[in-house]
């Protein structure tokens, strides 16, 4: 082999190898030009390898698109529509997402914005509250339900999330009584559903934690693709007690649907464009781990809630997660079932 062909072969192999390791590209350039830069690059690469980053930065994978677009969509939805446009716009929305128009208590023209129409109340008596057990807090479809074993909980079949990261506390510290277990139920709301959140049991709220996070879509493809999606997304966690011990209710935001408010606490400020830079809750920034930072508020006097009472609402929102302590709780719903707010989802034996 000639000297010229040998040099060409080395160059070809180096470029091919660079597809596996981008740093090998520098070996395809004359050494005299890159001797100094190689040392710098290798030193930088060794530093990067030591950083506590287990996955590619969330900021670059999704947040620039997801958070920004969700914020813009929220602003658009809060804009007041001309009265003449309200009925045709809302009627088109209702037709597209199969809203039950018979439950709407006021004329369509009375809702100033799409966000107001989205979070509309329903007629009195449209959701009777069942007795004899726990009821669904929302209109939604069951994504998962059952007993919680350890820290990992199923968010969809075969894919889990961490209670520690999701609630921001150790799962082993939640049980308050003997012979009890933790249970969970995840309910997903579609755009056409009634989007107010109600208490599923008589309980008292002692703490609120707001995790800004990101805003991945909450649908089956993303739930299967992204482990711990619920622990990454923006959410408001309410924690307290009920008759059988620990009780929590969490409202989770999603792509284009991150606006959440509470009926008893006006300090919550969700779906903000700047939140991820003030609150380092993504894997790229969270040196202490996902779920290690939240905006917390403890209530000096726990706030009592009765079954069926309105707790808050999604102005644009997606999912509610119940995690609670109970003795031999038995669900009468299963994955895939659709529940109306106030219908029975289970009870203790």
Residues serving a catalytic function are: 139, 198, 318
What letter would DSSP give residue 264?
S
Listed in sequence order, the residues at least 6 apart from 199 whose beta carbon sits closer than 8 Å to its beta carbon are: 137, 249, 305, 306, 307, 308, 309, 311
| CA atoms lying within 13 Å on the CB side of residue 235 | 29
Cα–Cα distance for residue pair 240/247, rounded to 1 Å = 5
**E strand or H helix that includes residue 308:** none
**E strand or H helix that includes residue 316:** strand 310-316
Residue 334 has phi, psi (to 5 degrees) of: -140, 170
End-to-end Cα distance, the chain: 83
* Four-residue CA torsion sign, 22, 24, 30, 36: positive
Let me know: does 245 contact 305? Beta carbons within 8 Å: no
Let me know: does 189 contact 204? Beta carbons within 8 Å: no
Residue whose C-alpha is closest to residue 323's, from 196, 183, 205: 183
Residue whose C-alpha is closest to residue 167's, from 223, 242, 236: 236
Burial-class residue 96 by CB neighbours within 10 Å (0-12, 13-18, 19+): exposed
Cα–Cα distance for residue pair 319/30, rounded to 1 Å = 56
| CA atoms lying within 13 Å on the CB side of residue 42 | 9
């Amino acid at each position: 082999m000639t000297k010229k062909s040998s040099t060409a072969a080395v160059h070809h192999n180096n470029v091919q190898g660079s597809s596996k390791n981008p740093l090998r590209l520098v070996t395809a350039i004359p050494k005299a030009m890159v001797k100094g830069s190689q040392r710098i690059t290798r030193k930088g690469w060794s530093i990067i390898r030591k950083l506590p980053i287990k996955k590619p930065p969330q900021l670059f994978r999704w947040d620039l698109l997801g958070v920004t677009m969700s914020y813009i969509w929220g602003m658009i939805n809060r804009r007041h529509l001309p009265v003449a446009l309200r009925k045709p716009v809302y009627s088109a929305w209702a037709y597209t997402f199969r809203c039950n128009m018979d439950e709407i208590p006021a004329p369509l023209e009375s809702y100033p914005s799409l966000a107001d129409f989205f979070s509309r109340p329903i007629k009195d008596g449209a959701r009777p509250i069942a007795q004899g057990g726990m009821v669904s807090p929302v209109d939604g479809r069951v994504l998962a339900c059952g007993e919680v074993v350890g820290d990992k909980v199923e968010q969809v079949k075969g894919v889990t999330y961490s209670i520690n990261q999701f609630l921001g506390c150790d799962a082993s510290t939640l049980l308050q009584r003997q012979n009890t277990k933790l249970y969970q139920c995840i309910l997903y709301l579609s755009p056409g559903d009634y989007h107010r959140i109600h208490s599923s049991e008589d309980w008292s709220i002692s703490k609120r934690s707001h995790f800004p996070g990101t805003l991945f879509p909450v649908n089956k493809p993303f739930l299967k693709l992204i482990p711990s999606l619920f622990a990454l997304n923006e959410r408001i966690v309410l924690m307290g007690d009920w008759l059988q011990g620990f009780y929590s209710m969490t409202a989770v935001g999603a792509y284009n649907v991150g606006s959440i408010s509470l009926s008893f606490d006006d300090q919550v400020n969700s779906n903000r464009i700047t939140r991820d830079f003030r609150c380092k809750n993504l894997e790229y920034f969270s040196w202490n781990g996902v779920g290690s930072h939240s905006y917390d508020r403890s209530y000096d006097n726990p706030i009592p809630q009765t079954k069926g009472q309105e707790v808050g609402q999604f102005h644009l929102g997606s999912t509610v997660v119940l995690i609670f302590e109970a003795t031999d709780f038995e669900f009468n719903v299963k994955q895939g079932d659709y529940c109306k707010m106030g219908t029975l989802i289970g009870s203790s034996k």
